[in-house]
Chain A
């Protein structure tokens, strides 16, 4: 066996363990030669594994997709994650294991890809009002749960801004994925989650004030 072959074999052995220590990754990824190339290939392999794992977990969202289409989606997400990981590499601070840190980029990209694909041709429902699941008058209407539902319906109508109302109803009642909604509305996941957070605080505040929630929120409303 030549020196080059031994080096390659050693790298393969040391990085084939998914829990290889961070120093091993840093040493190899920082190398400009064959050692670095091998480490990059190993890193891409890890991202493909993480991406596939997430895509397969979410495959029920992809109605009618065959195994090849699902795998293509995972490969594309892994490629996108590779770009993100290499761009962010200088920011890695060692607060987690390197492989965990790298995995999260693949898991994020794969989830976004699956949800985007699942909703690609679907209309995004953006209702601005809500009705109760069972509107027929009955003794159940007097129950605590029914009173809470009515109070929530009222608070949605009166305590939220029109934008908050559309966001919370799309996300939590119509179950539109947050990244899909962000894409369609031309905003970000972060901004939508903040709108959702503020709306929840307003709803809780209103329901505490009306006596339908016992524990007051310690947060401020927006």
Chain B
């Protein structure tokens, strides 16, 4: 363990002052993240105040949401490309 004082940067201050009300736990976020990202992919303007707030305040959950969204967008591209190729064959 290290007891040296931490250095307070502007980025750290911004992170410290994020308003995370309404409270949502990481477990609750995990329960809902698949539904949330599914909807975000089909409707980028989709808002869920509880999830949006949690993701603004939790870096690990936010990273997981970004990865999940990235995967779904790749899947959509694969499906779209396959549909196009099938259409050409027909």
Residues of A within 8 A of B (CB): 17-19, 49-50, 53-54, 57-58, 95-97, 99-101, 103-104, 107-108, 111, 115, 123-133, 145, 148-149, 152-153, 156, 168-169, 172-174, 177-179, 189-190, 193-194, 196-197, 199-201, 203-204, 207, 213, 215, 217-219
Contacts and interface: CB of A to CB of B under 8 A. Distances in A.
B43 interface: no
Contacts of A197: 20, 23, 57
A178 to B, nearest CB: 5
Given A126-B1, A204-B19, A219-B21, 11 more contacts: A97-B34, A97-B38, A100-B37, A127-B2, A127-B3, A127-B4, A152-B17, A174-B6, A177-B59, A177-B60, A203-B16
Interface residues of B, number: 47
A204 B21 CA distance: 11
Contacts, number: 160
Q: Main SS of chain B's interface residues?
A: helix
A103 B16 contact: no
Contact of A107 (B1, B9, B27, B64): B64
B25 A126 contact: no
Contacts of B64: 54, 104, 107-108, 111
